[in-house]
Structure 1
Amino acid sequence: MKQYFALLSVIFLSSFSCAQPHPTKILAEDPEVVNFTSEVVIPGLNIPWGMAFLPDGSMLVTEKTGEFYHVINGEKHVIEGMPEIYVRGQGGLMDVKLHPKYEENGWIYLTYASPLGEGDGGNTAIMRAKLNGNTLIEKKVLYKASPNSTKGQHFGSRIEFDNDGYLYFSIGERGNRDVNPQDITRDCGKIYRLYDDGRIPEDNPFINVPNAKKAIYSYGHRNPQGLIKHPVTGKIWEHEHGPQGGDEINIIEKGKNYGWPVISYGINYDGTSFTDITEKEGMEQPFFYWTPSIAPSGMTFVTSNLYPDWMGNLLVGSLKFNYIERLVIENNQVVKREKLLEGIGRVRNVIQGPDGYIYAGIEGKGIIKIIPQK
């Protein structure tokens, strides 16, 4: 096992140089024959947003419409005791994540659109709770973005922990691009960092800035629906929806400004331009961007030896084009793209399970499992 992880580290680290990453645009895919099949393991789901495996192999699954399921041997059990959820447009029940020490403390984390707080409508919240049978107990809202809005756009949201146990989560700019993402005194269009119990770390980047939202870790984001820890470097990787073009992958750094909407590789949906610059001092360049947009949702690094040809690759779901994209990274750049399961349906999430298999949430279909063929 030690030899396996040592080899894995070499594979990942050889993909990255010490140089500052530059944006990469690849318009032409490079397909290759991949020998695998897929099967639906949890059918009958509409928009399966979040997935998390419990230690016994059962799965927690969130539906955007507000249902939270504990799936045991393929059978869905409704989890009771849910908070009030504001379901509108892109908002609803979103991600689920287990605490890294779940077997010791039992904490489960959920992001969802909440109607609580200031104003009509809703905004993204993160809560932690425990399961007693199939009922949520010891519920606590750790953070709630404000103010509420009746707009249906850009709630985010994903959850991740880093190697030091800090809790990260994303909140989209809620369709208010010209105000929220560049203003650190306002919520939305941000990546946030907390302790696992909701306290704000003393070394958060804006802790001493007057009127700033102290939980902010990075800003200048549009609609982040991917958040993952790199399995070797431990850095937090994020992807977000651009407008017409300009979906981005970013490596999140403390206090950095990722530019939305001042700089972008995209244009308005009607074809007009909202900015004429793609670079500006003090704003980060994306690690990678897509043109045209694929509408990314969910992502995972492949570390399983069940997929030796994909080792170290990044898998990203495409809502727009109905496939999973495999990104091959060498020398700190994406060097190849491949479409997996083209036509499978709108891919809402993709994760690697503790059993080493890749699982994807497909809208209108359910959870599928990707099975390599020997």
Structure 2
Amino acid sequence: MRPGQWTRTKLSQIGAALALPLAAASFLSVALPAAAQQVREFQTQTGTLLVETLAGGLQHPWAVEVMPDGALIITERPGRLRILRDGKLSAAVKGVPDVAEHGQGGLLDIALDPQFSANRALYLTLSARGDGGYGTVLVRATLSADQRSLTDVQEIFRMSRFTRAGQHFGSRIAIDRDGSLFFGIGDRGDGERAQDPRDHAGAILHINADGSIPASNPYRVGTEGRPEIWSKGHRNPQGITFDPADGKLLTVEHGARGGDEVNNPQPGKNYGWPLITYGKDYSGAEIGEGTAKDGLEQPLYYWDPSIAPGALAVYRGSMFPEWNGNLLVAALKYQLLARLERDDTGAITSEERLFDGEFGRIRDVVVAPDGALLMVTDEQNGAVLRVSKAPTQ
């Protein structure tokens, strides 16, 4: 099937480690607090879903993760890190590095180190000020035992060129089985940067946990391109995950007026932006040279018009066995969750759109240890939502 046209597990290694009965029980005690605000019911192609509000009052939440004790840790774009436990939000965690909330930038993604239970290490992406303006950085830090502060904060990556632009900072994190980090940075509003191998913009990046360069990187010597670069030609990748079943890296990125893409980035490959795209400029003008060109990769799937994808997860859980292997894509503009079915070869065969316009801009989606979904809504009064299967009668 050619990529779909209409006229994303972020928890890859962590999720498997947390999927123990004890951890799942602990999660449920947090996910179903007595003070849960609201439960709504939705009919779908595969049955009835329940959506409950676990917390509100968050200012543009961007990412959520499940900690080993079952509490949720959440980023807010203005620069706050919060913890949700027993239905209550903590005060802002102290020690978060300075964040430049500029345009689409701010405190962005969070990922827990695979050994978080022992070392309490985590990773954050954020926009920072620097020479020339603003850019994306990635930091490693340690969450204190009382979960009130970050310590040992170290910047392990800083993008190559900062500008005054306020868009396309990326940037989600996926942790590979070897503990190395994959993350994306957008073109920063300048499409030509996505085609420059000596520029971090418009790329999927790959570094080790200490910021060093993995041996598998295509430009690791640094003579033909930046050594951190894995792939180029990406407009604004904001979803990235590994399929826990086969370790395949998957991303989802924003197009312009159309041309949002799901990709499987390969080392040294070029995914086309802005030379080829399935979308048009916001003005309606054509972009680049069409939809295909020799030497440039095709997406696995695309949307036209754009749904503005915010995050990507692969469903590998027990609550919805009928979704096994499906891709789940959070959408901002269309305010929905897209469920993409795949066949045995991994090709995307169909799409179901869930919660269309019901909760606002859905920024993140992750698969929890018990198989439920967690979502956050990118609003001034943002929320954490839990999606579960309705009990059968």
TM-score (norm 1): 0.90
Mapped to 1, the partners of 2:47 and 2:354 lie a distance apart of 8
Distance apart, 1:23 and its partner CA: 4.4
> What are the ranges of 5 or more consecutive residues in structure 2 without an aligned counterpart?
8-43
Mapped to 1, the partners of 2:198 and 2:355 lie a distance apart of 42
Give yes or no for the alignment of 1:285 onto 2:298: yes
Q: Which of 8, 23, 27 matches 2:6?
A: 27
Give CA-to-partner distance per residue, 1:13-41, whole Å, 9 cap, x none.
Answer: xxxxxxxxx7412427xx73630110100
Give yes or no for the alignment of 1:341 onto 2:320: no
Paired residue secondary structure (1:309): helix
Give CA-to-partner distance per residue, 1:72-100, whole Å, 9 cap, x none.
Answer: 22222210111111111111100000011
Question: What is the identity, as a one-letter code, of the residue corresponding to 1:126?
Answer: L
Mapped to 1, the partners of 2:188 and 2:2 lie a distance apart of 25
| 1:60-99 to 2 correspondences below 5 Å | 60-77=73-90, 78-99=92-113
Question: What is the identity, as a one-letter code, of the residue corresponding to 2:48?
Answer: N
Match in the other structure for 1:112? 126
Mapped to 2, the partners of 1:54 and 1:211 lie a distance apart of 40
Contact 1:62 1:94 in 2 (8 A): yes
How many residue pairs match? The answer is 348
Mapped to 2, the partners of 1:324 and 1:292 lie a distance apart of 15
Mapped to 2, the partners of 1:209 and 1:362 lie a distance apart of 39
| 1:186-335 to 2 correspondences below 5 Å | 186-210=199-223, 212-330=225-343, 331-335=345-349
Contact 1:302 1:311 in 2 (8 A): yes
Match in the other structure for 1:166? 180
Contact 1:23 1:289 in 2 (8 A): no
TM-score (norm 2): 0.85
Question: What is the identity, as a one-letter code, of the residue corresponding to 1:25?
Answer: G
- Cα RMSD over matched residues? 1.5
**Alpha-carbon spacing, 1:181–1:23, altered in 2? closer, same or farther (3 Å):** farther
Question: What is the identity, as a one-letter code, of the residue corresponding to 2:72?
Answer: M
Question: What is the identity, as a one-letter code, of the residue corresponding to 1:124?
Answer: T
Mapped to 2, the partners of 1:33 and 1:308 lie a distance apart of 10
Mapped to 2, the partners of 1:202 and 1:334 lie a distance apart of 31
Match in the other structure for 2:134? 122
**Alpha-carbon spacing, 1:274–1:352, altered in 2? closer, same or farther (3 Å):** same
Identity %, equivalent residues? 36
Paired residue secondary structure (2:258): coil
Match in the other structure for 2:389? 372
| 1:352-371 to 2 correspondences below 5 Å | 352-364=367-379, 365-371=382-388
Contact 2:313 2:365 in 1 (8 A): yes
Distance apart, 1:333 and its partner CA: 2.2
Distance apart, 1:211 and its partner CA: 6.2
**Alpha-carbon spacing, 1:308–1:211, altered in 2? closer, same or farther (3 Å):** closer
